Structure 1
Amino acid sequence: MPELQTLLKEVVRLPASYQRQGPPLTSLLAQIAQGDDGHGQRVGRLAGLLGHLAGSGLSSSSLELAGRLHDAGKLLLPDSLLHHQGVFNARQTLVMRQHPSLGLGALFHLSEDIPTVVHEAVLLHHERYDGDGYPFGMKGKSIPLAARIIGLADVIDSLLSTRSYKAGWSPRQVKAFLQEHAGGAFDPDLVGHALTFFDDLLTIRRGVAQPVHGYQPVPGQSPVTSRSLKIRNETP
């Protein structure tokens, strides 16, 4: 399978590329940002606010970092797959579905002490509440909360965003989609918070620095370390 052969070659090369480009976490975040048009940062902002609104008790710094890192595994996928136009065939789908596991593997190459919730979110953000997700087919509340939050934030930003193959959806369309798939793809409680405060999610997604409902976004360009992750925006 040519795609998998290319994939394995990229996995072997990745750690050396980290070493050439500076501190591993900073380098990884920069590499992701180069190719995702701000998607990771927006997912992080949305996730931080969702976690706050839901009273999750999770550090918003951890959720924002998880958002920025959730697609790290795509750095290990062949360019031909990432830029593919149209529907994936069975082989392409198989390879694409490796990116959560590859992302977790990439984090293990980092010297920083990455919080467990970030590892969980990177690996499990494509699990579905109804059990039809991947890589493990986990269901309901057995999916870690951070992964449920990142998964919802990921879809919200993806639907709102314009891509080469699609126009961005309107807020009304996105809200209707979330309502339709509450309890299916998404945690219904999180969807309830998202629908109630959707305008605030749109505000935070635009990178507004002012507090929203008591939530203060983490500065997007500042280095995130294990030291800072423990103290910012803890929900009582």
Structure 2
Amino acid sequence: MDKSMVEKATVLVVDDTPENIDVLAGVLRDLYKVKVARNGEIALKITRSPSPPDLILLDVMMDGIDGYEVCRQLKEDHSTRHIPIIFVTAKIAQEDEVKGFELGAVDYISKPISPAIVLSRVKTHLALYNQNRELDRKVLEKTQEISDNQLKVVQRLGRAAEYKDNETGMHVIRMSHYTYVLALATGMSEKDAETLRVAAPMHDVGKIGIPDSILQKQGKLDEDEWQVMLTHAEIGAEILGDDSSEMLSIARTVALSHHEKWDGSGYPYGLKGEAIPMVGRIVAIADVFDALTSIRPYKQAWSVDEALGLLKEESGRHFDPSLVTLFIACIDDILEIKSKFQG
């Protein structure tokens, strides 16, 4: 291990006997920053502080909370479970070792300690700890790269449908961000709201399967043409498939449900009220608002007030009334997104 990394590492020594703390601290302090705790309660407080240790040397037999309980609590806490714990104890029967390893400890050092063994074990487990942190960083970086690439593919798939329908390039980006804001306003978790934001651009992907003569017709569609147009929701679901991916599964639900209406007059299934999936109800509002307030070859952009007026008018008919109220309450965030993603 790089010497500078060793010197920066912090080791927490936990023991209720001051003499034992002095011995371990004396062994470690030339190479490591040493913190000490004389009972389990203090050890938990130090480890859960903004500056936690990199490794813990933990006595087993202590008054109050013993070492096993300290280990159990730290390993159950997501913020501290990664910190390696080495038990330092005279209680070294096989069943005690098994119990410690089952709780998540990485090693045992027996008392009375050997300074050379203490330094060797600490060095080894800090090296493993740093390797694991670097591996976690690389995995997270690669996962983010995959997620970013997936989002780009999704956005381009959404754009493919837009090109068929004379939409502007920023429509799917704006409406997906509106979707995220509204989803959070409903109480949806950030993770689920983000998944919906990524999925939303594929809401109209089924339009790829609709003939240009219908999609790009300037006048009103006749009955036969309209019946063909109605199939794009189901075509979209077929394109997205029955995939195990959470994002694609939500995208499929959105494609099928964002043209359903609160009063049951929508398509493809005529779902009504809360029978319409929440994600579809959210995307419906975001999609219509952006379509109304954007310039199209066949119309001028509506003002924000006009668009909000239509949402209010259609509340309880086209749209979920509670979602309309939440969307209007978020209008400052919506307008900030609209301004940011012009085009």
| Offset of residue 185 of structure 1 | 0.4
Q: Which residue of 2 aligns with 1:6?
A: none
Which letter maps to 1:96?
A: M
Partner residue of 1:30 out of 152, 156, 178: 156
Partner residue of 2:319 out of 186, 189, 202: 186
Distance in 1 (CA, whole Å) between partners of 2:314 and 2:324 is: 9
1:196 aligns with 2:196: no
SS of 2:267 mapped into structure 1: coil
1:87-137 deviation per Cα after TM superposition (whole angstroms, max 9, x unaligned): 110011001111110001111187966443222111110000011100011
| Offset of residue 169 of structure 1 | 0.3
- Mind listing any 5+ residue stretches in structure 1 that lack a counterpart? 1-22, 209-236
1:76 aligns with 2:209: yes
| Offset of residue 54 of structure 1 | 1.7
Distance in 1 (CA, whole Å) between partners of 2:278 and 2:214 is: 30
Return closer, same or farther for 1:186/1:89 CA change in 2, 3 Å cut-off. same
SS of 1:164 mapped into structure 2: coil
Partner residue of 1:117 out of 227, 235, 250: 250
1:49-80 deviation per Cα after TM superposition (whole angstroms, max 9, x unaligned): 10011213471222212321001001111111
1:170 aligns with 2:299: no
Q: Which residue of 1 aligns with 2:186?
A: 54
Return closer, same or farther for 1:167/1:138 CA change in 2, 3 Å cut-off. same
TM-score normalized by the length of structure 1: 0.72
| Offset of residue 25 of structure 1 | 8.0
Task: Report percent identity of matched pairs.
Answer: 33
Q: Which residue of 1 aligns with 2:229?
A: 96
Largest Rg, 1 or 2: 2
Distance in 1 (CA, whole Å) between partners of 2:334 and 2:154 is: 26
Query: Which of the pair is proportionally richer in strand?
Result: 2
Within-5 A mapping of 1:136-175: 136-175=269-308
Distance in 1 (CA, whole Å) between partners of 2:154 and 2:307 is: 30
When structure 1 is superposed on structure 2, of 106-115 and 173-182 the one drifting more is: 106-115
| Offset of residue 205 of structure 1 | 3.0
Q: Which residue of 2 aligns with 1:213?
A: none
Distance in 2 (CA, whole Å) between partners of 1:101 and 1:176 is: 30
Return closer, same or farther for 1:63/1:203 CA change in 2, 3 Å cut-off. same
TM superposition outliers: structure 1 runs of 4+ over 2 Å: 23-29, 109-118, 205-208
| Offset of residue 24 of structure 1 | 9.1
| Offset of residue 194 of structure 1 | 1.1
Which letter maps to 1:82?
A: L
Q: Which residue of 2 aligns with 1:108?
A: 241
Distance in 2 (CA, whole Å) between partners of 1:151 and 1:163 is: 18
When structure 1 is superposed on structure 2, of 68-77 and 112-121 the one drifting more is: 112-121
